[in-house]
Structure 1
């Protein structure tokens, strides 16, 4: 038994995988498996509504939002479901990279539909440029840029504040409340994520805060943006 535990510890060290119990990994995988299912549902619902509206910007935004949401939760689910091996290491990189895609994908409806115009396109460009940079850095060296990535997640999540005036003028109050509430949920989750494996089940709780943030943003986008 002790030898088996030592082998697992060596594998985790070899592949740079955080230490979580089996129960934690099951909860991590199942929670974001549910997220992937919700992402697919969001994709379909948003596409149908946008298609009926006949607005190309809404349709494109719906596709980007739905796909990036589904991709993030699918990668996270698979990463946590895999045994400790090289594949798990690869999917851990995918997991971290798709966080940037989720953030940029969530911004897309707000920038292209709600803000639109020069302010919308500038914000769209900034968000996607930072997101792509984050993906590249994580793909190159996940461990080296881990702390920088967490800071970028939070900063990128709140960069919309730069367009507060235009956003408030074009987004209905309930939609704005849902947007901010989702941002708060993600930020709390980021704090829990930073604590990570140091406290048991904190990463699992982080997963649920991510789900809450995504659901709140979906309601904001579906009912008040599209």
Structure 2
């Protein structure tokens, strides 16, 4: 659903707003996510929600640290690897919550195998080929992010029409971010709010939409 960050270069200084949005999102996830975990009615639900919230916190926390801290060459490459890996973990973590709350039996197991297997493969690829072209970076995230839709009927039944459409909308937002990263467009104010910041906006919008979906499932379940 999402793509990976880019380093600032000497020819193009880091935009002034680089990383701030994900830092704010990290703070929101810590608070809202903690409340969401408490909404879990059973141990299994709370476990799925904990994995989900932890994966989001990892995504935004690592991204904020990577983009806001002045790292040396070695530290920067290590943080890039962690940053890229956290994207796959967030995708799998999101589907863990969805699958754990609305799917059962073989469909739940299939989704978890697909997303975590795909995430593991993607992480290995990113560790081996850190400096891949942008389109190569973006494509695996999109593929893994949409792969769980092999069980569309079951997701539609479990989420309802509104929830399913919100899930799709979140995926579209993430995909738009990946496309923005790959094309480096739009690039509105390069030294303040560039294409990478547009990409970050897309990831936050996608995460927010999915958070709404998962909250709508978890909160009614807690009140039953």
Whether TM exceeds 0.5 here: the answer is yes
How many angstroms apart in 2 are the aligned matches of 1:71 and 1:145? 24
- 1:27: Cα distance to partner? 1.4
Deviations 1:102-158 (A, max 9, x none): 100011011222112111111101110110111122122311476434111111111
In structure 1, runs of 5+ residues without a counterpart are 1-15
How many angstroms apart in 1 are the aligned matches of 2:185 and 2:66? 15
The reply on whether 1:102 has 2:90 as its aligned counterpart is yes
Deviations 1:7-28 (A, max 9, x none): xxxxxxxxx9343533x2x412
1:215 paired residue number = 208
Superposed CA RMSD: 2.0
How many angstroms apart in 1 are the aligned matches of 2:135 and 2:35? 35
How many angstroms apart in 2 are the aligned matches of 1:82 and 1:189? 23
- 1:77: Cα distance to partner? 0.6
1:142 paired residue number = 130
Pair 79,197 (structure 1): closer, same or farther in 2 beyond 3 Å? farther
Query: Mapping of 1:57-68 within 5 angstroms?
Result: 57-68=44-55
How many angstroms apart in 2 are the aligned matches of 1:156 and 1:42? 26
Question: What is the SS of the residue equivalent to 1:172?
Answer: helix
- Cα contact 1:112–1:124 (8 A) shared by 2: no
The structure with the largest helix share of the pair is 1
How many angstroms apart in 2 are the aligned matches of 1:106 and 1:145? 26
Bigger drift between 110-119 and 162-171 goes to 110-119
- 1:39: Cα distance to partner? 1.8
How many angstroms apart in 2 are the aligned matches of 1:102 and 1:108? 10
How many angstroms apart in 1 are the aligned matches of 2:184 and 2:57? 23
How many angstroms apart in 2 are the aligned matches of 1:108 and 1:178? 17
How many angstroms apart in 2 are the aligned matches of 1:91 and 1:66? 21
The count of corresponding residues between Structure 1 and Structure 2 is 206
In structure 2, runs of 5+ residues without a counterpart are 1-5, 220-224
The reply on whether 1:113 has 2:101 as its aligned counterpart is yes
Query: Mapping of 1:83-94 within 5 angstroms?
Result: 83=70, 85-86=72-73, 87-94=75-82
Question: What is the SS of the residue equivalent to 2:126?
Answer: helix
How many angstroms apart in 1 are the aligned matches of 2:60 and 2:210? 15
- Cα contact 2:44–2:100 (8 A) shared by 1: yes
Deviations 1:144-180 (A, max 9, x none): 4764341111111111221001111111222212111
- 1:57: Cα distance to partner? 2.2
1:166 paired residue number = 154
The reply on whether 1:39 has 2:26 as its aligned counterpart is no
